[in-house]
Amino acid sequence: MPIILAIESSCDETAASVYKAVNPNNNLENNILSNIIFSQIDLHKKFGGVIPELASKSHLEKIEPIVACALEKANVTIENIDAIAVTSKPGLPGSLLIGLSFAKALAYSNNKKLIGVNHLEGHIFSACIENNIEFPFLCLTASGGHTALYLVNNYLEYKLLGQTLDDAAGEAFDKVAKLLDLEYPGGPIIEKLAKEVDFKDFFKYKRAMKNSYDFSFSGIKTAVLYDLIKKNYYNLEKKLLNKSLSLKQEVSSSLLSAVADIFDQKLILAFKEFKEIKSVAFVGGVACNNYIRERLKESSINNNKLFFAPNKSYCTDNAAMIAFVAYHKYLDNKFSNFSLDIY
């Protein structure tokens, strides 16, 4: 079985992973030999979002030690590696270029095969890393940059059913967190505050696009803003005027309820159309959210579907998911040449 080294640098995580499948027909036995991640969150926190120039500078500093660490942790050397995989798109251009250039140089100088992987494919199949999920399955991907629903027919074969027409779900959490003077990234702190008030839906923000597979999250962020302005809790110049904990809890909990409902509605819509589906996978950074996981699990089980969400270390950006997809590309002889680009 091939040993794959994968590199991921599409946004604000520098990551490397080594993967070796023990048994290609049983993911429960497959081996992530290492999964190393350097998160730049502390670097971007004070700006309330990712600053692309700082992100690429940090990738440049970290990529070599992170890759070295992944090899060492996996107890292999570059000679043992059969192919070098890298996230080639989509992502921040400056960040992608660091990983891609590094991977190309490493592959070229060591005479290794190169495999470009789409970051979104990485997220889609992240639920398979440690699970045997029967095809076809539904995959809901929700991260800071993307939100989409896919029908997954096989490894590397999937159909886009719908996607966000504006902001991603994670972006809605991050932007509302910024309105509320909360730290970046918004998702985890919004979940914590919502839990403190039992995930109650105080403000009943509008759930957009109920009967479509597409999503829209920019409206909900604007609804939060207008509601705060209307109540004199927020001013466009002076920003947040009411800094009470209860307001932050109530807005957080209402937002989380709305996002969970929107996701649930999409799944129910798909269950009605695709009766052959036996399982649902929920992936991406937002899939770290325990409340949404539980809501979607409950709804899946009520509709006789199995529910899978990856281990949280495979939800947020990581290189293990890139290695997993690359392994399947390797089996299909889908290699990249050195003109591989980020577009």
Residue 187 contacts which entry, Zn ion, ligand KG4, none (Cβ below 5-8 A, type-dependent) = ligand KG4
147 to 176: interface string for ligand KG4, x by CB under 6 A? -----------------------x--xx--
Binding of residue 143 to Zn ion (CB under 5 A): yes
List the interface residues with Zn ion, window 269-328 (CB under 5 A). Answer: 317
Total residues contacting ligand KG4 (rule CB under 6 A)?
Answer: 19
Tokens 């109920």, residue located: 210
Which partner, Zn ion, ligand KG4, none, binds residue 279 by CB below 5 to 8 Å per kind? none
- Confirm or reject binding of residue 310 to ligand KG4 (CB under 6 A): no
Using alpha carbons, select from 66, 263, 96, 154 the residue that is nearest to residue 271: 263
What's the CA gap between 8 and 115, in Å, rounded? 12
Cβ(158)–Cβ(168) below 8 Å:
no
Cα 14 from Cα 157, distance rounded (Å):
27
Contact between 16 and 81 under an 8 Å Cβ cutoff? The reply is no
240 contacts 180 by C-beta, under 8 angstroms: yes
Nearer to ligand KG4, 71 or 286 (CB): 286
- Least spacing, CB of residue 80 vs ligand KG4, in Å: 29
Binders in 181-200 for ligand KG4, by CB under 6 A: 185-188, 191
Of these partners, Zn ion, ligand KG4, none, which one is at the site of residue 136 (CB under 5 to 8 Å by kind)? none
Smallest gap from Cβ 38 to ligand KG4, in A, equals: 13
Indicate the Cα dihedral angle 267, 164, 291, 121, nearest 10°: 80
User: What's the gap between Cα 6 and its chain centre?
Assistant: 17
Q: What is the dihedral of CA 286, 115, 89, 42, to 10 degrees?
A: 50
Minimum CB distance to ligand KG4 smaller for 99 or for 136: 99
Q: According to the binding rule CB under 6 A, does residue 8 interact with ligand KG4?
A: no
Tell me, what amino acid is at 239? K
Residues that bind Zn ion (CB under 5 A): 143, 317
